[in-house]
Structure 1
Amino acid sequence: MTDMGTPAAAAVAAAGNTPRPGGSWRRLHRAWLVVAVTFLVLLASAAFRSSLGVLLVPIEDDLGWSRTDTSIAVSLNLLVYGVAAPFAAALLERVGIRRTAAGALLLIAAGCLLTTVMTAPWQLSVLWGLLIGAATGSVALVFGAIVANRWFVARRGLVVGVLGAAWTTGQLIFLPLLAALVDAFGWRAASFAVAGTCALLLPVVVAVLRDRPEDVGLLPYGGQPAEAAEAAGQEQAPPTARAAVGHAVTVLREAFWTRPFLLLAGTFFVCGWTTNGIISSHFVPAAHDHGMGATTAAGLLAVVGIFDIVGTIGSGWLTDRMDPRKLLALYYGLRGLALLAVPALLGPNVDPPLLVVVALFGLDWVATVPPTVVLCREAFGADRGSIIFGWVFAAHMIGASAAAAVSGALRSASGDYTSAWLLAGALAVAAAAASLTLQRRQPPPDALDRALAGESLPTQ
């Protein structure tokens, strides 16, 4: 018999308060409040991580630093943010959703406040590169997926999509506002604004977020009492954070030299180089070099965000119907052409050809994710594929980190960004060609065994 003292059993007893999809609502299920607050956390985290792009030039002008100095901080931020992805699940299992979100907001606020009194470039690297990079990486895509899996049975796919969109929508909402704030009051005012937003979110996170619905005597949204009772009888202690981290490292070690992993990680490395690495980090400074105002340039990035929502949804629909390799080749090819065109189109005014290029950036910004996820699953299986995608995403952010540093160095050496745009465009075209060489069919069992020898899945 199920122990009625367990959290899942308590949830069964409270099942009468759980609205079922299509049924009458006596009150709003707490899951929707949890997902709303999670959306705000992801929204803010994504915006704060990318906001350094609008602060680079004002910081350099105020403190006398070079583009190379500030690009190192951007590079570290992207690197730490990406490498945190495979280990975020381990942190969430050990610390919990609420504590992780609250801790991340505190670290972001502290980092932003301390930047207002910094006096040396290395301090920007430590504060924005390491501290804020780790904090925002802890509340990124993996965070949203875990919230959706724990709190929803029905509508789970919808919730995952909504929370995933927050990753891009953050820059859509905040970057133009921060740019306007910088123009009016200086870059320190923008740092204070970020810290203040974190402070406002913190009590909401503490009040609303809980690790699991069972913690407040509820079933997941759409869950049934029988399912909870069965789960209660099968519950085991989650793996330790150490075991989860060890498993992620083992999967990487055993898959690293396989052809599918190298191609997937390599193309996603280029994806990071050509999006977060050069566009998010250097588009506003590059536009400034051509006489465009920071607020206008940030507004163009907001246009990227709008088209990205359309492109990501459309890419998911196409991935179910088309060869994902061909989709990746199309996305990277179009992105490469757009990047190659940027040096000739940037100027003080926003002309129609530049708007077309910006729209192309948006349509395939995150459109590469659905086909890449499918190819990871096909090559390594459903369970291993999710871990592999975590590492492939880490390669994405490593590429972004490298691009942020290299693009800044190229600008410092030549006085403009032309060579950086041309390099990014050439890499995107190469990634388009490489995408077509990926294997569609899953390797035979003996090949998988050789690629991932000795792997055992953690106990669920």
Structure 2
Amino acid sequence: MPRLESLRPWVLLGVFSLLLFLISGATFSSLGVVLPAMVADQKWSWAQAGLGFTLLGACCGGSAWFPPIVIRRFGVRAALLLGTAVMAAGFLCLYATPNVWIYFLGTALCGVAYQLMALIPGTHVLAAVFQKRAMAFGLYFTLGGLGGVAGPMMALAVMELTGGAWRPFWALQAIAALAIGVLCSLLIPSSAWLRASSERIDAAVKAEAEAAAAAPQTAPLAVYRTVQDWTLKQAMGTVQFYILVAAYFVHLLSGVTVSSLSVAHLTERGVAAGVAAGMLSLEGLMATVARLGGGFIGDRIDPKWLLILAVGALGMGSLALSVADSYALMIVYAIGTGVGFGLTALAVTILLLNYYGRQNNLEIFSTVCLVGAVSALGPLIGGSLRDLLGSFSPTFQLFGLVAAGVFVASLFMRPPQMKRAGEGAAVPAGLINDPV
């Protein structure tokens, strides 16, 4: 029995990684590949097509307040089952798509389900069962992120097998969502077990941080972790919170836009559709590699440096994509945006826990996720600029400059310090040095 209990955290890691693999591969990464065929078949403008992708991202971010309510009241299993039903309904709408309005409804439903099925429940549960959270999140985002690698190739394969038809792809995704969502929900433990695990893990993390604070070290590879549990209101009163929000915003802004428009952009610049889709898969592979590497070192060096590397790479990749018409530039784009997209999400997730604690992380992280509602304007902006200027290049150049601004802000970021009511002194902070 003790052996079974020790394996349960790894089972949960596998469950949520599988869910993230499915929904990332079937939504953001695949839609950009299928979209040109849908546009040609339905006679849509690129502004309309981009708006559908914008609704996917906006509903993904804008619904981030909802999963914490479901989880707190009904448990994680209820959130997964509800998300499974909504995701399947979204795929069925995309399968039917008699007009642009049903397309919009389908993408909106998939966006809501994205948060319910994996991202927020996954980070909430894994933070409650793993003490080495950077390692756990690194594996989670890595394994789940493989969906971004498989998605474009899977979409192309299904369309090739069906003579270029795009509807069968969405039908297959609906079936997969129902089967995998129900199976995974059955493997989720009870709320009482999760609560007991989180209390045990929190006590261990705080004890480690307090011990380090009592005997601070000055090694250059120190990892900052707070010894306090911040409330959402307290976190929102710090500059660091908004820098992390900005980083999460630009990673979604660039990531969603690259997924939705890069294939169309590159083919307009003379790149073969298969090569363009392959570069999107390479981008997903680089994101996966970056998450894996970041997860293994995120408990050893401060994740702030991962964030700086990530947003810098994201900006460089976006600028390279804007003018890409050769393999060299396309590889710079794929590596840059891939590393940037993969590492930014991981670094922000870890920094929120390190800066503000785990107790209220469900609400803090979901609030950060709300920026997805705004960053989802990327495809709409890109599609509108394409219709107006005849090119997607200005969009990627603009987003590259936004990433550069976040890069500069991240360079000067320092850990937040909580002040006692009515006092100016800060509560002692923890510095942890894990052995390499």
Given the two structures, how large is their TM-score scaled by the length of structure 2?
0.77
2:115 to 96, 120, 137: 137
**2:243 maps to 1:263:** yes
Alpha-carbon RMSD:
3.5
The one-letter code sitting in structure 2 at the alignment partner of 1:332 is V
CA contact (8 A) 1:74 1:128 kept: yes
The aligned residue for residue 388 of structure 1 is 364
1:21-32 matched pairs, under 5 angstroms: none
- Percent identity, please: 23
Residue-pair matches, total: 392
Question: Which residue of the partner structure matches residue 339 of structure 2?
Answer: 363
- State how 1:28-427 maps to structure 2 within 5 Å: 35-50=13-28, 51-129=30-108, 131-148=109-126, 152=129, 159-185=136-162, 186-202=165-181, 204-205=183-184, 208-212=186-190, 256=236, 258-276=238-256, 278-320=257-299, 322=301, 324-346=303-325, 351-373=327-349, 375-377=351-353, 380=356, 383-384=359-360, 387-395=363-371, 397-427=372-402
Gaps of 5+ in 1: 1-15, 22-28, 224-249, 450-460
Q: In the alignment, residue 366 of structure 1 is paired with which amino acid? A: G
Query: Larger deviation: 328-337 or 384-393?
Result: 384-393
| Inter-CA distance 423–93: structure 2 relative to 1 (3 Å threshold) | same
CA distance in structure 1 between the aligned counterparts of 2:318 and 2:361, rounded to whole angstroms? 31
Q: Report the Cα offset of residue 371 of structure 1.
A: 3.9
Structure 1 position 44, deviation (Å) = 0.9
Partner of 1:445, secondary structure, is coil
| Change in CA separation of 1:418 and 1:30 when aligned onto 2, cut-off 3 Å | closer
The answer on whether the counterparts of 2:316 and 2:336 sit within 8 Å (CA) in structure 1 is: no
TM-score (norm 1): 0.74
Q: Report the AA paired with residue 247 of structure 2.
A: T
**What amino acid sits opposite 2:151 in the alignment?**
F
Q: Which has the larger radius of gyration?
A: 1
The residue type paired with residue 332 of structure 2 is: V
TM-superposed CA distance for 1:172, in Å, is: 1.3
Amino acid at match of 2:243: L
Deviations 1:222-246 (A, max 9, x none): x9xxxxxxxxxxxxxxxxxxxxxxx
- Structure 2: state its 5+ residue gaps: 201-229, 425-436
Q: Indicate the residue corresponding to 1:457 in structure 2.
A: none
Looking at structure 2, the residues matched to 362 and 81 of structure 1 have their Cα atoms a distance apart, in angstroms, of 20
Alpha-carbon separation, structure 1, partners of 2:329 and 2:414: 36
CA distance in 2, matches of 1:408, 1:102: 34
Alpha-carbon distance in structure 1 between the residues aligned to 2:37 and 2:127: 42
State the partner residue of 1:9: none
Q: Aligned pair in 2 of structure 1 residues 428, 201: CA closer, same or farther (>3 Å)?
A: same
Structure 1 residues 435, 184: closer, same or farther in 2, change over 3 A? Answer: same
What residue in structure 2 maps to residue 233 of structure 1?
none
Relative distance call for 1:252 and 1:408 in structure 2 (3 A) is farther
Between the aligned partners of 2:191 and 2:58, the Cα distance in structure 1 is 34
Give distance in 2, aligned partners of 1:370 and 1:447: 35
Whole-Å Cα distance in 2 between the matches of residues 157 and 334 of structure 1? 20
- The letter for the 2-side match of 1:417 is F
Aligned to 1:283, the other structure's residue is in SS state helix
CA shift at 1:261, angstroms?
Answer: 2.8
